[in-house]
Amino acid sequence: MKNLVRSLAAGAVTAVAAGSLVIGFSGAAFAAGNPPWEPIANPPEVGGLLFFNSAGQQITGGNLTDSPIAAYVEGTATVRAGDTKATLYGYLPVNGQAPGAWSGEALGSSTVYPNASAPAPLNTATLPVETGAAGDESIATLESDLPNTDTSSDGYAGIYVLRLETNHAGGSQTTSYDSADIQITGSTWSVVYPALSLTSTTTTLTSTPASTAVSGTSVTLNAAVSPSAPGTIQFEYGTTDIGAPVTVTGGTASISTSSLPVGTDSLSAVFTPAQFSDYSGSTGTESFSVTPPPATGTTTALAVNPATGPADSAVAITASVTNNTTSNPLTPADGSVQFYDNGTVASGLITGSSVSLGTVPLATGGTATLNYSLFAQGAHNLVAVFEPTTPAVYNTSTSSNVLFTATAPTYTPDNQTVTVGIPAGTLTITTPYTPTAPFQLGTATLNSSGTEFQASAPFGNAAFPQNGVTITDTGIGNQPWTASVAGTDFTSGANTINGQNLTFTGVTPSYLSGNAYSATGIVVGTESITDTLPGGLPYAAGATGSDGVKGGPHAFAQTTTPGAGSVYVYGNLNLVAPTSAPAGTYTATLTFTIV
């Protein structure tokens, strides 16, 4: 505990037997539900208290362990003319004791005001201002030194009183003070008296240009605060600040930026009043669209060396690609060039009859060279097309056609015929099970509600996919396929379980490592085969239909992309049966087909 003091009453507290006691603190209006001792007669309580952070923004509470509790504490009224020092005290209100007799202690050192180093307008305030410092007593220490043990509903529980008293060199401490009451809740405190009466503000945000701009364009954001109030505007996109807060002048503030990200940006202008005791904060919002910059134009020039030569002799075809804006050559990362032979057509256009000669990445200096030696005798109008790596950055461009004339070859052609035989492909579907080694569903168990028998077993799994279905396609140039299954009823002698009660679920493909399917990215689609049991009950033995796997064929796997390869398909076989099914071993037949 430090600086423990006990207040001495400077005069009698006025008691009012009827009507109400009205006291003014710098024009502030106090709400109903004030602490029971408020308002105290004026004097000794001449004004209220306002609390500010280090930036000069008003706060109305904080953490119990904050030291100091606020960077600045300002009284709303002059306690004694001519005083230049202020000291903040904390007191414990006690029901039944006069406010002047409450125990208290100093929360900080006596500091001089005005404090020129404080943020405006506190730096020029003639009202008493105490400047907090690290090491000042926290509310937590005040609570520890002067515990508030009141747990009743008399209005004293959890409340402490803060008083700002003043003096001057050679003078005595005042017995009057500016005061505020705070409420402790959990690990925080907040001001409960005097209550703030704020004028509401509205902030409107507009932009120039309005609503849309190209990325990199300077956009000016304009905020208007109504009614006009002193303070700052923090402009933001999303949760990112745009520059530093801008001072509001004449009710407006603006900022320009060319850094808004591409897309639909949520812009906001957050108004923070300079004097929170007068105005409330407000936020204006606007949706702004930023479009990508247009792709830069390119120019592709083509050269052929030599321009004339024997058929089937080497020809160097070189394309040079430049940036239209800077006239600089493109870099290797910017794209590639595809070369075409239009034959005798000199239009320079790429059509379905154009023959692609090959694609070459750009090299240093923005050039790409194709060495080609398969030109037949005759005219060859050559064209080069630049293909950008990122179309949003550079536009494609096509060169003018350049003629290469292939003269008679310098050799005598010797035509030979080459043949190759392609075997007929096969498409098979198999399982590892046979009539003598059937798939086992196991022994069915009665479900918890006693309404049906249930049995389920994995028909292959991720660890052993070969225990399901194996599909092998050895065809070349074959067609897409669909795999299906058809099932019969389960029988045990004269007894039957309806095959519609059997489902095939969790159907999953498993590609063989290194196999053509996985190597070429051919996708096998799968689907589960379920049933729609009537009323949630199993199908009776004699019920007709082709639900579940019964009848069919029911498709469970397919591919729409032709190609040779192999794939496993596995899942779960699940059976439900009515409780009326007699005991026994039941057998059904599943037929897997692929077309």
Q: pLDDT digits over 524-566, tens only?
A: 788 888 887 766 679 999 899 999 999 889 999 998 877 778 8
Burial 484-504 (b: 16+ CB within 10 A, else e): bbbbbbbbeeeebbbbbbbbb
Q: How confident is the model at residue 187 (pLDDT cuts 50, 70, 90)?
A: very high
Residue in this structure with the two tokens 């800077």, named with its chain if needed: 326
> Looking at residues 68-94, what average pLDDT do you find?
96
> What burial class does residue 549 get, using C-beta atoms within 10 Å of its C-beta: 0-12 exposed, 13-18 middle, 19+ buried?
buried
pLDDT of residue 11: 29
Q: Which amino acid is at 349?
A: L
Query: Percentage of the chain surpassing pLDDT 90?
Result: 69
Q: How far apart are CA 39 and CA 25, in angstroms?
A: 10
Q: How confident is the model at residue 472 (pLDDT cuts 50, 70, 90)?
A: confident
Q: Look at residue 477 and tell me whether its pLDDT is greater than 60.
A: no
Is residue 149 within 8 Å of residue 156, measured between CB atoms? no
Is residue 6 within 8 Å of residue 91, measured between CB atoms? no
Q: How confident is the model at residue 519 (pLDDT cuts 50, 70, 90)?
A: low
User: Which backbone phi and psi does 465 adopt, to 5 degrees?
Assistant: -65, -20
Is residue 298 within 8 Å of residue 394, measured between CB atoms? yes
> Looking at residues 191-213, what average pLDDT do you find?
89
pLDDT of residue 220: 97
Q: Assign domain 298-407 one CATH number from 3.30.70.260, 2.60.40.730, 3.40.640.10, 3.90.1750.10.
A: 2.60.40.730
- pTM of the complete model: 0.38
**Residue predicted with more confidence, 513 or 285:** 285
Residues of the chain with CATH 2.60.40.730: 298-407
Query: Percentage of the chain surpassing pLDDT 70?
Result: 91
Encode pLDDT of 371-397 as tens digits.
Answer: 999 999 999 999 999 999 999 899 999
> Looking at residues 108-122, what average pLDDT do you find?
93
Write out the CATH class of domain 202-291. mainly beta
Pick from 302, 226, 316, 237: nearest CA to 271: 226
Q: Look at residue 36 and tell me whether its pLDDT is greater than 90.
A: yes
Residues of the chain with CATH 2.60.40.10: 202-291
> Looking at residues 209-213, what average pLDDT do you find?
93
**Residue predicted with more confidence, 258 or 474:** 258
Q: Collect all residues with Cβ–Cβ distance below 8 Å to 367 and sequence separation of at least 6.
A: 318, 319, 320, 321, 329
Residue 258's CB: how many other CB atoms inside 10 A?
10
pLDDT of residue 13: 26
Tell me the β-bridge partners of 592: 485
Least confident of 68-72, 92-96, 335-339, 423-427: 423-427
Residue 505's CB: how many other CB atoms inside 10 A?
15
Mean confidence (pLDDT) of the chain: 88
